[in-house]
Structure 1
């Protein structure tokens, strides 16, 4: 198939810094829209919902992995990074999706999974067949075991998904997998590994994609000799355990990011955002140097409680991270790995009310923002029965960690019964609960007071109003339990995270998450003003 000519790409002739204030929409492929009728989301489904996304007002998509995969980790175990998994479609279908998205003014970024491959990847199968000391094994991290008979793992590293980070093969060697055994880590000191990553990037960039989200962006590099680390039990989810955790944030990872950036610089107007789980502002900032990532997710807002001090602290630290870098801040409230913020904020009516306010906080902040599919509908987590759980964390943890399935329920589109227009069949890859009729996009589009209508109004204002100009903010005095700031363009945002109403500040109300017509800002409410 003839690749898309980058010179003809409609977005790359202007506004190469589009990503600095863009609103990205994360599409978790399996759960967004099912076009084939098998109960699993796919590329045809995404393509069919592009007009909805255009009306929502997002600037770009981040599509999670749709590459050939045995699905041990639902696509993050990639068997071939330069093709499409048949469950999700094919390459012509991806090209059609890309063409349609660009025609609607929506850019498309895709997941890059450099840290590991699937154990079914041709390279790993060749490594198993070739044996110890072979060039094929040198692409991965094979090591001899410890102890007199090599029966102990080479070091004490735990897997993020539970259990040891090592699996022994029949000839006695062990291989490293920071995640599931089906996800062997690559060795980025091997030039062949780096070159293959560059080939994968060019494959998708030549087709016309606008950038990448880099999975486990603080992984890839490992310390020489793979020494033991400070003993720790992993949480079962990515997190920053500090400098004692030798699995992540090794200095060599920056060499990989410089190679990634060099390829992207050959394609003006493209970008990369890294999944970098680091709490330390200075360590995170190092990923945002001029020759590394364009953006890095700052997860402080995603992990903050609904508490004014927590929320303000998240904003302060996120802005401090980028203050000495060329990058803007990058805000996240939910994603496919963490509980949705409706649930995190308490669930039910209270959680939804707080989530509405949090949306206005996120979208008022300077920089870029990521919206997870379903955020704009106020989707909560779903408490699934044990037998429905599919996340590898559930099995790897010995059924002590339920994993991430609760935040991955398919998006409800229309109707009053499962699968609410997500699929032609009622039984979907993760079950959808009863009672979600009012949550559907169709129902909410007809309701001016809905979460969807709030997002549409907020994104329309953000895109069109000069009040959102500038990449900084000025903190303003605010009542107890509230935070308030002004953007250089003139936008004022007040968030009342307290349990009582506060006086509405002076100025013209642009948008509010609840009714402020009485001259007060109710509890758990945010308001945008031009003061």
Structure 2
């Protein structure tokens, strides 16, 4: 069964399959030592964002700031040099008749568009503003005149092959803007050991295999929970793990995150960060990652396998309690080591 259709991808716009990385600026990196992350902190860590392999940075938590600052100008300049687009997460009241005074200063400052929240439809007012700024976009949810439709359908479906397949079918069959798949709302308020990351890692491969854009939230690539504002753990053996030089006990940062820092994961080929980096590299470079819609194969109970229509990419997921045979093809990546050629429980794999 095939679900979803789309245009010929020759000449597709830059946002068509973009991987967006939302940075809660106040929780990402603190340069001035006041305990609150800042734009200069993000700028200092921009090399990490580039290394991760995303396409777009979404700035969250700065909409009340002045867009005409040297800090933002410097960040935008370095982001462009790194080939990164930059969006702003911002509230737009759906009852507002003229969002121009709110949006135009950011567009004039050089931002590439917005992730709107609350994400209800403010009519065509936002589209009218963007009409004066070519190549700028809006990510929204619900009903709206968006370029990309932000959706947590995969997160809501949980970790069960049937509901996940139904969620994918529903999104791709809808008469709606192109999907921007997100998994940022997880019920794992605290990750305390690597075994808990089995479904997180598997669903990351499902998310990144689908046609459409992807929205990640900072810390997600480390396997950290996405339901709360998380201070990014960078390095070291004690809180705040390089986030800030400000003194304090930092009770909101668990001591066990020492194993989940960027430093601890970067050189570990089995880490969640390495999985994300490898997956994003394959997604960006492998010729199999084309095609619109998905075609489902027969699969054992509590499992599924789909192929991107028009390509050779296959994604298989096993949410059962037993290993299952892999579909035929060359294994590109798996979320956990394979079991003598079989797909273990709680594992996803890409094949071509």
In the superposition, the TM-score normalised over structure 1's length comes to 0.61
Pick one of 123, 139, 155 that aligns with 1:257: 123
Give 1:476 shift.
1.1
Give 1:24 shift.
0.2
Instruction: Deviation per CA, 1:111-164: give whole Å up to 9, x if none.
Output: 22122xxxxxxxxxxxxxxxxxxxxxxxxxxxxxxxxxxxxxxxxxxxxxxxxx
Unaligned runs of 5+ in 1: 1-13, 69-81, 85-89, 116-185, 219-252, 277-283, 382-403
Distance in 2, Cα, partners of 1:302 & 1:204: 31
Please show how residues 199-238 of structure 1 align to structure 2 within 5 Å: 199-218=101-120
Distance in 2, Cα, partners of 1:15 & 1:416: 47
Unaligned runs of 5+ in 2: 1-9
- The residue aligned with 1:367 is 212
Q: Secondary structure at the match of 1:62?
A: strand
Q: Secondary structure at the match of 1:309?
A: helix
- The residue aligned with 1:83 is 66
1:331 matched to 2:153? The reply is no
Q: Secondary structure at the match of 2:15?
A: helix
- The residue aligned with 2:275 is 454
The 3 A distance-change label for structure 1 pair 341 and 375 is: farther
Distance in 1, Cα, partners of 2:12 & 2:26: 31
Q: Are the counterparts in 1 of residues 63 and 89 from structure 2 also a CA contact under 8 Å?
A: no
Q: Which has the higher strand share?
A: 2
Please show how residues 53-92 of structure 1 align to structure 2 within 5 Å: 53-68=49-64, 83=66, 91-92=69-70
Pick one of 256, 272, 282 that aligns with 2:138: 272
In the superposition, the TM-score normalised over structure 2's length comes to 0.91
Please show how residues 87-486 of structure 1 align to structure 2 within 5 Å: 91-115=69-93, 188=95, 193-195=96-98, 197-218=99-120, 253=121, 256-276=122-142, 284=143, 287=144, 292-321=145-174, 324-325=175-176, 327-334=177-184, 338=185, 340=186, 342-343=188-189, 348-380=193-225, 407-427=228-248, 431-486=252-307
Q: Secondary structure at the match of 1:466?
A: coil
Instruction: Deviation per CA, 1:152-205: give whole Å up to 9, x if none.
Output: xxxxxxxxxxxxxxxxxxxxxxxxxxxxxxxxxx8x3xxxx533x212222111
Q: Are the counterparts in 2 of residues 110 and 211 from structure 1 also a CA contact under 8 Å?
A: yes
RCO higher in 1 or 2 (8 Å CA, sep ≥ 6)? 2
What's the C-alpha RMSD, in Å, of the aligned pairs? 2.2
Q: Secondary structure at the match of 1:459?
A: helix
Give 1:438 shift.
1.2
Q: Secondary structure at the match of 1:518?
A: coil
- The residue aligned with 1:520 is 342
Q: Are the counterparts in 2 of residues 312 and 483 from structure 1 also a CA contact under 8 Å?
A: yes
Q: Are the counterparts in 2 of residues 342 and 378 from structure 1 also a CA contact under 8 Å?
A: no
- The residue aligned with 1:494 is 316
Distance in 1, Cα, partners of 2:304 & 2:89: 35
How many residue pairs were aligned? Answer: 342
